Structure 1
């Protein structure tokens, strides 16, 4: 461009900008170019006397309400949205329709979040985490996997964390130890566990689905799946525990000078030429011999005493039958080495519920093994939130916060309750009210004499389903 032409263009620029600024808002707000820029004009900010807001008829949303959605919201009947095409956040005269955007799958399986009972109020902690949303750590050579729940995903679950782990046949969870206590329930399959304690006493045992093991902090141990593979649940007494921070045998060897290892073990440095160059974590190995005695290595200290055994054959303990299902308890009274782990496996028949209760001295960490259910967590003075649970979900209920677990499906509901306590105990709402002088209850709650006469002074644990009025 010639210098005189460039000079004239520069002189005209202020006038051109004034013309643009003086253009009507309707013109300035409409970028009619075929490919608008990444950002709009400053004229789009705020009010303009010429702007028109597009309006139309309210969206015609097609839906059908379930019978429970037409009841008084305080009745709080479970809403089964599983097969509802367009579930809506409506209960009685509360809520309204929802045109979206939405995740319909989440809404269908979490009806008490979409349309909570009228008795919910305020906000409690988030007492639910689906293991299916946890990042899955995959073992090498298709040996298995592990996914965990801890305070990263449930910040208020400070007392306990959990891991769901699968080992294929002959696969190992590598030799390791950790700073937290480890309590485990086998969900399916079978495995061989092995350990040695600080006295040099050794331990080995074969376990199957339903059995329990426990390893104290610092006790090195291994787990190997037998011929049918194994899946197990691990519960740790630290809410921030992470499977990624365990002490692994491979890492100990990798991060100790070979000269030191040779001196320590009384071998040559060349003995370590073929050690793995990375951790193994979950990997396949040589199948365990059928005869466990072949692996029963002992030292001069002998075996771990039976009274301090690291395993408990919980699968062979009969369940205690109650009206609405069954309960099995294992705690230090029968499994002494697990000095502060108390647990119950609870089954609830369709329509039944784990009675309203709370634990005065411990938080409750719950894992849902089978079926589906819901629970309302009540936190003083007046916060209440209802959660829906499926198999594979974790629930967490802080100490002295009342809750129940109701079977909302048409099959048996099974879940595990774990406490940090020397004995499995709870306070039951029904027993409390029934064991309080009737006149006190009548004056407080306005319950009739007929109602009071039906209350039971013994814990029910699980109550059977009842028909409503």
Structure 2
């Protein structure tokens, strides 16, 4: 006799055992904000302890991710934050200038050798005197209108008024000047960026400084005129000095060489940004601003609750300036090294290539940033897009994501993600 039939039992195959423990679900949000009415402490969950020694509370309120960092931070990542408020300010009769360069940043960020910046303010009519640099100069006007002039090595002259949100660029060694118009009665303020981290605003080549250090008889011989014609040249540099506002027409001397082939300014403020789920982006690099061969920029806005997606820049360091709002970034430096920083308006973030990072809006208003790269073409790699365009079985093997999650990955860069509902 045959054995009696038995009911077939079906069981689901057990999932593979994880190679390492799963990542923790413990929350790692900021524990306080800039305006929190608390005494911040070095405590996160069961870790840390309160501060019983001296405590710089204003600094601690600005930097919750340093005092009570996320538990996902690990290892050693060099400092990536510099507030312009900590830079020495050079006060002149016509305005001021403060800089971020190797002197005040490389000690904190050893990798920050590619870019330096200057925040400069000119009263209406004031002039940043005729000068040139060893490096190229890129600029973004923060407020007011700046009139720029330049002459190329071929003798082509150029003048333009650059408004808030607009750009200029002068190649290395090309002489130029900057003057505040009176379109805004307060004058102008602008951000200067140089394609060398060792740049020093105090060591530029100034017209008055040079003329004061050439024998007058030699000057007269050069210009084929009398020595008395130069009786009133300054005995030392002027740097920033007051003057009358430039004429509205911006008239230039007639030029037998004609105009330069490409303008040295770019009306970036008039470029329509690309609308995204959680903000906007617009880019200016050598493809649109043709003379800008060494600096590219993305101006990004991020709405409350949204974030500039997780990404990296493959070949260029990122020098980021916070124009408005508050932000948080975690920098991933490989080999389990990660560190989180908080930023406010007027702060600089320096992200070495190709560190992975994001920019999260931690405030209640729009975050507005400039992502500035030392390159001719702006490039980034999106984590979301990378995973979406990688074979699904590989993504599953690495991250154990469900089919549904994988189908929701974006094959087009989100750039700025929507706020979570």
TM-score, scaled to structure 2 = 0.91
Are 2:32 and 1:80 aligned?
yes
Deviations 1:319-341 (A, max 9, x none): 11100100010000011111121
2:101 — aligned with what?
150
2:376 — aligned with what?
422
**Separation in structure 1 between the aligned mates of residue 404 and residue 245 of structure 2, nearest angstrom:** 65
Deviations 1:84-129 (A, max 9, x none): 3211111122212222311001111100001000110111121110
**Separation in structure 2 between the aligned mates of residue 367 and residue 225 of structure 1, nearest angstrom:** 22
Deviations 1:135-154 (A, max 9, x none): 001112xx111100011122
**Separation in structure 2 between the aligned mates of residue 153 and residue 353 of structure 1, nearest angstrom:** 29
Q: For 2:54, which of 88, 98, 101 is the aligned residue? A: 101
Structure 1 residues without counterparts, runs of 5 or longer: 1-71
The structure with the greater share of residues assigned to helix is: 1
2:20 — aligned with what?
none
**Separation in structure 2 between the aligned mates of residue 263 and residue 210 of structure 1, nearest angstrom:** 44
1:351 match: secondary structure? coil
Are 2:361 and 1:407 aligned?
yes
Higher mean C-alpha deviation, range 269-278 or range 323-332? 269-278
**Separation in structure 1 between the aligned mates of residue 303 and residue 156 of structure 2, nearest angstrom:** 44
**Separation in structure 2 between the aligned mates of residue 89 and residue 430 of structure 1, nearest angstrom:** 33
**Separation in structure 2 between the aligned mates of residue 75 and residue 445 of structure 1, nearest angstrom:** 19
Are 2:334 and 1:380 aligned?
yes
**Separation in structure 1 between the aligned mates of residue 32 and residue 358 of structure 2, nearest angstrom:** 18
Structure 2 residues without counterparts, runs of 5 or longer: 1-23
1:457 — aligned with what?
411
Q: For 2:175, which of 205, 210, 220 is the aligned residue? A: 220
Are 2:266 and 1:312 aligned?
yes
1:153 match: secondary structure? helix
**Separation in structure 1 between the aligned mates of residue 416 and residue 30 of structure 2, nearest angstrom:** 18
1:28 — aligned with what?
none
Q: Is the 8 A contact 2:385 2:413 kept in 1?
A: yes
Q: Is the 8 A contact 2:32 2:40 kept in 1?
A: no
- The higher relative CO (CA closer than 8 Å, separation ≥ 6) is in 2
Higher mean C-alpha deviation, range 177-186 or range 415-424? 415-424
Are 2:278 and 1:300 aligned?
no
**Separation in structure 2 between the aligned mates of residue 95 and residue 237 of structure 1, nearest angstrom:** 41
Written as runs of structure 1 = structure 2, the 5 A alignment for 1:150-229 is 150-155=101-106, 156=110, 157-227=112-182, 228=184, 229=187
**Separation in structure 2 between the aligned mates of residue 162 and residue 303 of structure 1, nearest angstrom:** 29
**Separation in structure 2 between the aligned mates of residue 254 and residue 304 of structure 1, nearest angstrom:** 31
Count residues in correspondence.
390
Written as runs of structure 1 = structure 2, the 5 A alignment for 1:28-427 is 74-81=26-33, 82-140=35-93, 143-155=94-106, 156=110, 157-227=112-182, 228=184, 229-292=187-250, 295-305=251-261, 308-427=262-381
Q: Is the 8 A contact 1:74 1:119 kept in 2?
A: no
Deviations 1:56-91 (A, max 9, x none): xxxxxxxxxxxxxxxx78531122243232111111
**Separation in structure 1 between the aligned mates of residue 222 and residue 334 of structure 2, nearest angstrom:** 57
**Separation in structure 2 between the aligned mates of residue 195 and residue 287 of structure 1, nearest angstrom:** 18
**Separation in structure 2 between the aligned mates of residue 443 and residue 93 of structure 1, nearest angstrom:** 33
TM-score, scaled to structure 1 = 0.81
Relative to structure 1, is the Cα distance of residues 350 and 267 closer, same or farther in structure 2, using a 3 angstrom cutoff?
A: same
Across the aligned residues of Structure 1 and Structure 2, the Cα RMSD in angstroms comes to 1.2
Runs ≥4 in structure 1, deviation > 6 angstroms? Answer: none
